[in-house]
Homo-oligomer: A and B are copies of this chain.
Amino acid sequence: MENSKLKPTESELEILQVIWEFGSSTVRFINDRLNQNKKVGYTTTLKLMQIMTEKGILSRNTESRTHIYSSLITQDEAQQQMLDKLLKSVFGGSAKNLVIQALGNHKSTKTELEEIKKLIQELEGGEK
């Protein structure tokens, strides 16, 4: 309920992704990771992470000289929030359309499809 309004920017999401995948990290580690995809200066990443800390997206442990940053928002929260936004802004609020696009255009394994089917069964059971 606290951070319900937080919407990470593009660059901030890239940083969050690293933390979500590898856990709390240093600026160095994250910057190295980012540089596997595109060139970005160390102080750029540092600055971004400092800003994110001010915004309440990250927290940091400053005990040692090299600070260690953690995410204050879970991947789940971010997923939920951004999905909501996309749903409203581009899919006219229809989850069905979104799901159909997602399934239709991105290969999913048979196992994955089975899992989704199972979920649908449960949902159908739960609703009247």
| Residues of chain A at the chain B interface (Cβ within 8 Å) | 10, 13-14, 17, 21, 75-76, 78-80, 82-83, 86-87, 89-92, 95-106, 108, 110, 112-113, 115-117, 119-120, 123-124, 127
Contacts and interface: CB of A to CB of B under 8 A. Distances in A.
A113 B120 contact: yes
Given A98-B102, A113-B123, 11 more contacts: A13-B89, A83-B102, A87-B102, A95-B102, A95-B103, A96-B112, A96-B115, A99-B99, A99-B102, A102-B102, A103-B120
Main secondary structure of the interface of A (DSSP, over half): helix
A20 B29 CA distance: 44
A120 to B, nearest CB: 5
Q: How many copies does the complex hold?
A: 2
25 contacts: A13-B89, A13-B90, A14-B89, A21-B92, A75-B90, A78-B90, A79-B90, A79-B98, A79-B101, A82-B86, A83-B86, A87-B106, A95-B112, A96-B115, A99-B99, A99-B103, A100-B115, A100-B116, A103-B116, A108-B123, A110-B124, A110-B127, A113-B123, A116-B116, A117-B120
